[in-house]
Amino acid sequence: MVNEDGKIVVANPIAEQVFGYGKNGLTDLSLEQLLPERYRGKHVNFRKGFNAHPEPRRMGFGRDLLALKKDGQEFPVEISLSHSEVQGKLLVMAFISDISERKKSEEALKKSEEQLIVYAAELEKKVHSRTEALNKTIEKLEKEIFERKRAEAEASKALEKEREFNDLKTKFVAIASHEFRTPLSTILSSVVLVEQYKERGDLDKISKHTSRVRSSVEHLTAILNDFLLLGKLDECKIIVTCEPVDIDTLLQDIIEEIKPSLKEGQHIELDLKSTKKQLITDARIVRNIFFNLLSNASKYSDQHKPIYLKVKEKDELLMMTVKDEGIGIPPEDHKHLFERFFRAGNVSTIQGTGLGLNIVKRYVELLFGSITFESQPGGSVFTVSLPFNCAPI
Ligand code: ADP
């Protein structure tokens, strides 16, 4: 408690203890003695101001107040002021709290908050750089996975190709040895017989056997040609030459050419209904397509069975149908029919390599056409549709 002149009138024991004075040690001291020297002058004015208009309030609101202990040590305080008048004299009461501990913990809190912010910033930086590193690793891994998958796909493709090739090789060896054996043994037996007939001078028999030798050799040549052709088709070595071709002449030529190989009593009935008379196409390829289809029609039909070759226009295409009344193709074999070396289950002893239809299909595609078939026991119909002009636009 301080009088108007700023002298301490009375202080409680806690105040004496806080400021480091002994009992009654504060009494009669000037209040300014409890302040660091640098604040004293200002404080005198401040005290006078308060005395002029005394009212209870807190001191130094919003800023830190410092007080001075007897031993010269400064410490933070919070002060509330109040006043009363005793016998006409103003007495000012100052309630002083030592807030050193609070300040310390506030400071510590602030420090740790600041540290926390620094840590957080560092952490964020670390997370950022780790994320970047991780993203780079992921990118690298993704690239590696992609490369590996591509390599795997290539390897399995190569493996698949090799497997296919081995499969074809096996089929080729089987078919070739089977298909070559018959004509070769025919040739051998005919040669032996020719020698015997030569001794007897039987010219008729000799001529019969020489023609058997010739047809066997032709058959072998045809098989070999098919094998060679397959290779050429695989390597895309077939050159398509599109030229104007008279449809009727082309078909008549094919029929004439195939006539000698038809079975006894077989004949080809041509039914040509096309207003357009010309095709722009590769005549050699068309000939091979129909030679194959017509030979099959003959081969898989009995003697005396007719073969029909119908030709008409449909939707800007020339549709050509080869129909026979032969053994037909079992339904379960339909889906494999154009596969290389495939032969249906009902061929029994009829000779063949299973290459013709595969070649036909690829030939048709070379001319930008298509091929379909329908078949059941009792007959088959193969339809080839070709554009009137096979030259690419
Ligand atoms: P192949 O040399 O065996 O005759 P193709 O490739 O020409 O070979 O024909 C494949 C298979 O399709 C034949 O083995 C046969 O089973 C069947 N096939 C083809 N054309 C006919 C047809 N007109 N009638 C019955 N079956 C046929």
Q: How far is CA 323 from the centre of its chain?
A: 46
Whether 11 has a pLDDT exceeding 60, the answer reads yes
Better-predicted residue by pLDDT, 308 or 353? 308
Nearest C-alpha neighbor of 240 from the set 108, 102, 364, 370: 364
Task: Say if residues 373 and 355 touch (Cβ distance below 8 Å).
Answer: no
Contact 71, 20 (CB under 8 A): yes
Which ligand 1 atom is nearest residue 382's CA?
Answer: 23
Output the residue whose Cα is nearest ligand 1's atom 20: 296
- The tens digit of pLDDT for each residue in 238-273 reads 889 999 999 999 999 999 999 999 999 999 999 999
In the structure encoding, which two tokens stand for residue 314, read together?
């449909």
Q: Residues with beta carbon inside 6 Å of ligand 1?
A: 296-297, 300, 324, 326-329, 337, 342-344, 347, 352-358, 380
The CA distances from residue 289 to 8, 239, 294, 306, in Å, are 131, 15, 9, 19
Whole-number Å distance, alpha carbon 239 to ligand 1 midpoint, is 26
Give me the mean pLDDT over the 293-322 stretch.
Answer: 96
- Rounded to whole angstroms, how far apart are CA atoms 338 and 282? 22
Nearest residue to 339 (alpha-carbon basis) of 167, 148, 153, 218: 167
Q: Which of 22-26, 164-168, 197-201, 310-314 is the least confident region?
A: 164-168
Residue 92 and residue 41: Cα distance in Å, rounded? 19
Q: What is the pLDDT of residue 171?
A: 81
Rounded mean pLDDT of 376-387? 96
With beta carbons less than 8 A apart as the criterion, state whether 226 and 341 touch: no
Question: Nearest residue CA, atom 2 of ligand 1?
Answer: 352
Distance, in Å, from the CA atom of 200 to the CA atom of 13, rounded to the nearest integer, reads 162
b (16+ CB within 10 A) / e for 85-122: eeeeeebbebebebeeeeeeeeeeeeeeeeeeeeeeee
Whether pLDDT at 392 is above 70? no
pLDDT in tens, 113-126: 999 999 999 999 99
Taking residues 209-224, report their average pLDDT.
90
As beta bridge partners, residue 272 has 311
Name the DSSP class of 7.
B
Residue 82, φ and ψ in degrees, nearest 5: -145, 170
The alpha carbon of 209 is separated from its chain's Cα centroid by a whole number of angstroms, namely 64
Choosing from 171, 258, 268, 296 the residue with most ligand 1 atoms within 8 A of its CB, the one to mutate for a pocket test is: 296
pLDDT for 167: 84
Nearest CA to ligand 1 atom 19: 296
pLDDT value at 237 more than 90: no
Phi, psi of 267 (to 5 degrees): -150, 160
Q: Whose CA is nearest to atom 11 of ligand 1?
A: 343
Rounded to the nearest whole angstrom, what is the distance from the C-alpha of residue 80 to the centroid of ligand 1?
A: 117
Tell me, in angstroms, the distance from the centre of ligand 1 to residue 265's CA.
21
Judge contact between 69 and 59, C-beta under 8 A.
no
Look at residue 60 and tell me whether its pLDDT is greater than 80: no
> Rounded to the nearest whole angstrom, what is the distance from the C-alpha of residue 7 to the centroid of ligand 1?
132
* pLDDT score of 307: 97
Residue-wise burial string across 354-391, b where 16 or more C-beta atoms lie within 10 A, e elsewhere: bbbbbbbbbbbebbbbebebebeeebbbbbbbbbeebe
Among protein residues, the one with the nearest Cα to ligand 1's atom 21 is 296
Helix segments in the chain, DSSP class H: 13-19, 37-52, 100-200, 203-234, 247-258, 283-299, 356-366
Asked if residue 91 has pLDDT above 70, the reply is yes
d(CA 245, CA 5): 136
Lowest mean pLDDT among 165-169, 303-307, 330-334, 336-340: 165-169
pTM: 0.61
Q: In the prediction, which pLDDT does 67 show?
A: 95
Nearest to 27 by CA among 39, 12, 14, 41: 12
253 C-alpha to center of ligand 1: Å?
A: 23
Q: Which amino acid appears at position 111 of this protein? A: K
Q: What are phi and psi of 390, to 5 degrees?
A: -90, -5
Per-residue pLDDT tens over the stretch 177-205: 878 888 899 999 999 999 999 998 889 99
